[in-house]
Structure 1
Amino acid sequence: MVVFAQTSPPDVRKTRLTLDEYRAMEETNPERHEYRNGEIITMSGGSESHSAIASNLLIYLGFLLRDTDFRLYNSDLRVWIEEYQCGTYTDLMVVNGQPEFNSDRKDEILNPLLIIEVLSPSTEGYDRGEKFRKYRSLTSFCEYLLVSQTEPYIEQYYNLDRNSNDHWQWQVYSNIEGVIVLHSLTVEIPLNEIYRRINFSG
């Protein structure tokens, strides 16, 4: 059985806006914010390692998926989670086939299949807990990777039973020579590609 943490996001510069006000702000603001049913939370910026790992994943996965029906997106687009009235950014997400957008919004995706988060100290608890719980309300969502930026360590959650949300499985990868099988995409990624040119010595 997999036990999910219930840690809340960092309590940083919260305010309240309407959804339309939030969307207008995101179109012009260089900072990223999460929308949580009217509450706006400013998300902290990433480190060099965070950016490099996300780029490694984008490049390697993009190559693997280039001739498939899967579509890979970086952190420019939000996932909209209707059940929680939540708009949030992922580090990477994959959609199977055509993306489904929220109403007439071309920056809010409704149907991610795979979501990847590179963990940061300020958001790690949230990514593991409340954010993951929200993601699981999406019927398309069936695989989740949490990637450490401080050591070769990746947690994988996946649900092979698309008719139930109660059968999530968990696996850990900590061998830099290991290979991750992404069940939702039927592809493999070596850890040494994810962590290419990452210096863990500080």
Structure 2
Amino acid sequence: MVISQSEYYISQEEYLEGEKVSGIKHEYIDGQVYAMAGASDAHVTIVGNLFAMLRNHLRGSSCRVYMLDMKAQIDVINRYFYPDVMVTCDIRDKEFEYFKCYPSLIIEVLSESTEGYDRGKKFASYRHLESLQEYVLISPDGMSVECFRRNEEGHWVLYLYQEELHLASVDFRCAIAAIYEDVTLTDNSNKN
């Protein structure tokens, strides 16, 4: 969640060096840095559940899964974001210690204050990543997962999941309930 913006331009190099020592995370958009706020219990739990399941699924493969503190670089439009969960299977990403350039999967857990941005401008930015195959949005309030998947023609197609999730980019399947394990849902219409 973005909470404040700096008032002056900084270079990508200054941003990356500053993030190494900063007590809070910042996203970077065209020379401006935006401080990130903390996340809710539900948000952090969902991210942890997904990370654990994806890490177990990808163990022994060439893919790596990251959560919360790894940046995605979108160099062609001068941006760095902190996805909630990100998977890269591209060997070129091994050369970058503090960010990744070639993710195949990005997952964002929505919040009331960032939902519009995650669906709109952030997704528009992520679409510049030629490696990205799936962009997933997860509600922290009810069992609802939206997966935008790039098809063979390069168009993004929406898949809605309420019982079982399928992430084609990493050949992963799980029950939606597993994503929400230990989460207190506030949307009663999705409780079992």
TM surpasses 0.5: yes
Structure 1 residue 18, shift from structure 2 partner: 2.5
Deviation at 1:155, TM superposition (A): 0.8
CA distance in 2, matches of 1:44, 1:137: 25
SS at match of 1:140: coil
Deviations 1:151-177 (A, max 9, x none): 11111100131xx43x21102123xxx
Q: Is the 8 Å Cα contact of residues 165 and 176 (structure 2) preserved in structure 1?
A: yes
- Answer yes or no: is the 8 Å Cα contact 1:70–1:96 preserved in 2: yes
Aligned match of 1:90: 83
Aligned residues: 186
Deviation at 1:201, TM superposition (A): 4.1
Residues 104 and 134 in structure 2, CA contact (< 8 A), matched pair in contact too: yes
Structure 1 position 72 matched with structure 2 position 65: yes
What is the distance in 2 between the residues matched to 1:201 and 1:137?
34
1:190 aligns with 2:190: no
What are the equivalent positions in structure 2 for 1:1-202 lying under 5 Å apart? 12-16=4-8, 17-100=10-93, 105-161=96-152, 164-165=153-154, 167-174=155-162, 178-201=163-186
Mark the CA change 1:14 to 1:122 in structure 2 (over 3 Å): closer, same or farther. farther
Distance 1:179 1:159 in 2: 19
CA contact (8 A) 1:32 1:43 kept: yes
TM-score normalised by L of structure 2? 0.89
Aligned letter for 2:7?
Answer: T
- Partners of 1:124 and 1:79 lie apart in 2 by 19
For structure 2, which runs of at least 5 residues remain unmatched after alignment? 188-192
**1 CA distance for matches of 2:70 and 2:22?**
14
TM-score after normalising by structure 1: 0.85
More relative contact order, 1 or 2 (CA 8 Å, 6+ apart):
1
Structure 1 gaps of 5+ residues are 1-8
Tell me the distance in 2 between the aligned counterparts of 1:137 and 1:41: 20
Residue 105 of structure 1 deviates from its aligned partner by: 4.5
- Check conservation: 2:136, 2:145, Cα contact below 8 A: yes
Contact 1:44/1:122 (<8 A) preserved: no
User: What's the CA shift string for 1:106-163, capped at 9, x where partnerless?
Assistant: 21211000000111122111111111111111110010110111111111100131xx
Runs of 4+ in 1 over 3 A off after TM superposition: none
Contact 2:2–2:37 (Cα < 8 Å) also in 1: no
CA distance 1:41–1:100, shift in 2 (3 Å): same
Distance in 1 between residues matched to 2:157 and 2:123, nearest whole Å: 13
**AA aligned opposite 1:130:** K
Distance 2:124 2:91 in 1: 24
* Cα RMSD for the two superposed structures: 1.9
